[in-house]
Amino acid sequence: MKRLSIAIFSLVILFVLSTIIVVDETEQVVILQFGKPVKTIKEPGLNFKLPAPIQVLNSFDKRLLEYDVPPEEILSRDKKSLIVDNYVRWQIVDPLLFLQTVRAIPTAKTRLDDIVYSELRQELGNHDMHEIITEAREFIMEKVTLASNEETSKYGIQVIDVRIRRVDLPRENEASIYARMEAERKRQANKFRSEGEEEAQKIRAATDRDKTVLLAEAYKTSQQIRGEGEAEALDIYAVSFSKDPEFYEFIRTLETYEKVIDKKTTLVLPGDSKLFKALTQ
């Protein structure tokens, strides 16, 4: 009798324990009763269910998951073959829908592979290679993420982010593509040098023109000042002549000496020369 009581008590304990569900904060649960969903639990804590096989527990990861998509060859808009290595960050947001459509993680990855590759191929096909490998890639990947998310939502999956890890060229195309890229860079460099030289010539021409104008204006001003000085000198001479003709004549004679005679000059003058007269007086 005692053994029977212990057995019954043990069965009751096992029954109670089988009805208790402890949901971890990293998981979410769907409870099926005879194959039909009856409850979805997304919050952590203690819950209860009927023991199996009446009710069966299906648990799914609630954390952010990452799927490394196998590298694929994609053709860009400018007909360049590119080997694209990308990865996807995703999350199960509707565990019931996820269970009803893909049921398990491996199947979900297969769906992600198909969807992301399709969207990536379509979007990269709308851009040239240089856009894909430069800063425009960020904008491209945002569009791929949004488009992929629209498709995966029917499976209870949210695509958080699609990223390109690296972009390579097929080995048979590397040499020719690199050669074209180098030629394009040289063409751009020559264009910039040519434009720079043209601009430098314009600056030099403008500088020479400004210099010529400044010199002409300076010469004009100097000639004007010189003319005014000579005119003033003539006025002074005229006043001097009117007041003392002999002194004026003497001054003009001395000025003539100053212009034509130096230390090495030998003069032969007639006796009645005004120059000789000025020297002997």
Q: Which tokens sit at 199?
A: 């601009």
- For 171, half-sphere exposure in the C-beta direction (CA atoms, 13 angstrom radius) is 0
- For 56, half-sphere exposure in the C-beta direction (CA atoms, 13 angstrom radius) is 9
Query: Cβ(24)–Cβ(44) under 8 Å?
Result: yes
Instruction: Note the pTM of the prediction, 2 decimals.
Output: 0.57
Query: Cβ(30)–Cβ(99) under 8 Å?
Result: yes
User: Which residue in the block uniquely carries the two structure tokens 């120059």?
Assistant: 275
Using CA atoms, how far residue 194 sits from 108, 180, 184, in Å, is 57, 21, 15
Distance CA 31, CA 34 (A): 10
Taking only the tens place, the pLDDT of each residue in 211-261 is 887 887 887 887 888 777 767 766 666 666 566 566 666 666 666 666 666
The domains of the chain, with CATH numbers, are: 2-61 (no CATH), 65-168 (3.30.479.30)
DSSP state, residue 102: T
Tell me what pLDDT residue 149 has.
Answer: 94
Answer positive or negative: Cα dihedral of 116, 119, 125, 128. Answer: negative
Per the DSSP assignment, residues forming a β-bridge with 2 are none
Tell me what pLDDT residue 279 has.
Answer: 57
Calculated CA dihedral for residues 259, 262, 264, 269, nearest 10 degrees? 60
Tell me what pLDDT residue 21 has.
Answer: 82
CA-closest candidate to residue 115, choices 83, 80, 69:
69
Collapsing DSSP to helix, strand or coil, 232 comes out as helix
First to last CA, the chain: 174
Collapsing DSSP to helix, strand or coil, 88 comes out as strand
The length of the chain in residues reads 281
Which stretches of the chain score pLDDT less than 70? 1-18, 171-181, 230, 233-281
- For 34, half-sphere exposure in the C-beta direction (CA atoms, 13 angstrom radius) is 0
Tell me what pLDDT residue 189 has.
Answer: 80
Tell me what pLDDT residue 209 has.
Answer: 80
